[in-house]
Amino acid sequence: MKKWKKFLVLAISGVMIAMALAGCGSSSEKSDSDAKVEDVSTRTVYVSPQWVNAAQNGKVKGYKNVKVFEVTYTGKLKDSKSYKKGHVPGAMLIGDTDVEDAVGSQEEPYNLLKPEVIEANLLKHGITKDTKVVLYGEDPSGVARVAYGMIYDGVEDVKVLNGGLDAWKDAGYDTETDVNKAKAATDFGVAVPAHSEYWTSMTDAKAKLQSDSNFKLVSIRSKAEWLGKTSGYSYIDRAGEPEGAVWGKGADSAADVNGYMKDGKVVDLKTLQNGLWKDVDFTMDNHLAFYCGTGWRACVPFLICYQEGMDNISVYDGGWYEWQMYGDNPVQVGDPASDNCQHTTVSQLPTDKAAKN
């Protein structure tokens, strides 16, 4: 064979080998090279898998050393079947219990933990106010709860992988089963809570309902809960809503936020205003204090509004769980716009409204 033919064969072979090797790269690498990721601000919360992948690979300006966490209830490996099965490469574990009390009592309701405790837990995970955090998990409201707790304490840039691991895999990205652990940090960088304005206490909610016409206590609960047919929870015996509350809709049960989702992803504010919130008893000009039963569902609309730059928003953290612990708290049972809405107090409510397991 002539020399030029040998050279041609070798060249073609080299190209084919290079193409084959390129094809063996991770799907994350392939997708990232072609994907155009969305522009985001510090307050953007819900982001695409393409954005997360690009940020992990250092291809988003200002987002080096992004820390990704899978949210499970306890954040412990033994309790995290989904993480052990396969997770976003590099992801570490964090728990809802890192930001909230998991027991609940009249002395310590099912609220966020004290800011100093949240701070200590975040530092164990290597998180400070300046850490670029990305969260995801199986329960969008549980993930929102952790995101809210971080923002409340002072983490300045918290993102959520919209659609979770399913969206990540649907985008063609790989998973891993390696267990990743964070290196603890020592200085959070700001006095906590940095954003106490995002947290509404029961005392403040009661006072504002009486004195502030611009304040709206927005229930993010199912229709059955809103109308007082069930508490929604097996451990809450009484049903109803704080008197003066308005309905933000969005849940089919105490365990979902289906009305705030489309195709497995949390929707944006414009979509809400044109759909679920098209006919509600509040506007974006009101101070909106979202609540539900124990705080999870309420955090989803909070984050949707937060990422639009709204500051007239908060979470009434104790929710119905805390409200019904106090016998003299005023209650409405039924649609407040109807003639048959009952106005009473917690102590007068029947105690047979717990949800059946």
Residue-wise pLDDT for 66-118, tens only, equals 999 999 999 999 999 999 999 999 999 999 999 998 766 666 667 899 999 99
Is residue 321 within 8 A of residue 234, CB to CB? The reply is no
CATH architecture of structural domain 197-348: 3-Layer(aba) Sandwich (3.40)
| Residue of 30 and 270 predicted with greater confidence | 270
| Count of helices and strands (H, E) across the chain | 12, 15
Convert the pLDDT of each residue in 250-309 to its tens digit: 999 999 999 999 999 999 999 999 999 999 999 999 999 999 999 999 999 999 999 999
CB atoms within 10 A of CB 106: 8
Q: Where are the domains of the chain?
A: 28-194, 197-348
The alpha-carbon radius of gyration of the chain (Å, integer) is 24
CA atoms within 13 A of residue 336's CA, in its CB half-sphere: 16
Same fold, 28-194 and 197-348: yes
CA–CA gap between residue 67 and residue 55 (Å, rounded): 10
Q: Is the CB of residue 163 less than 8 Å from the CB of residue 264?
A: yes
User: Residue 128: how many CA atoms within 13 Å on its side-chain side?
Assistant: 10
The predicted structure's pLDDT at residue 4: 43
pLDDT tens per residue, range 126-169: 999 999 999 999 999 999 999 999 999 999 999 999 999 999 99
Closest CA to 131 of 77, 190, 74: 190
pLDDT digits (tens, 9 = 90+) for 167-187: 999 999 999 999 999 999 999
How do the residues of the chain divide into helix, strand and coil, expressed in percent and rounded to 5?
Answer: 35, 15, 50
Query: Which fold would CATH assign to domain 28-194?
Result: Oxidized Rhodanese; domain 1 (3.40.250)
The torsion angles phi and psi of 344, rounded to 5 degrees, stand at -150, -160
- Measured between its terminal Cα atoms, the distance across the chain in Å is 80
- Residue 325 has, within 13 A of its CA and on its CB side, a CA count of 16
Distances (CA, A) of 333 to 63, 123, 203, 292, 322: 48, 43, 21, 15, 17
Residues identified as active-site:
292
Place of tokens 């200002």: 62
At residue 109, the pLDDT reads 66
Please state, in angstroms and rounded to a whole number, the distance separating the CA atoms of residues 229 and 245. 16
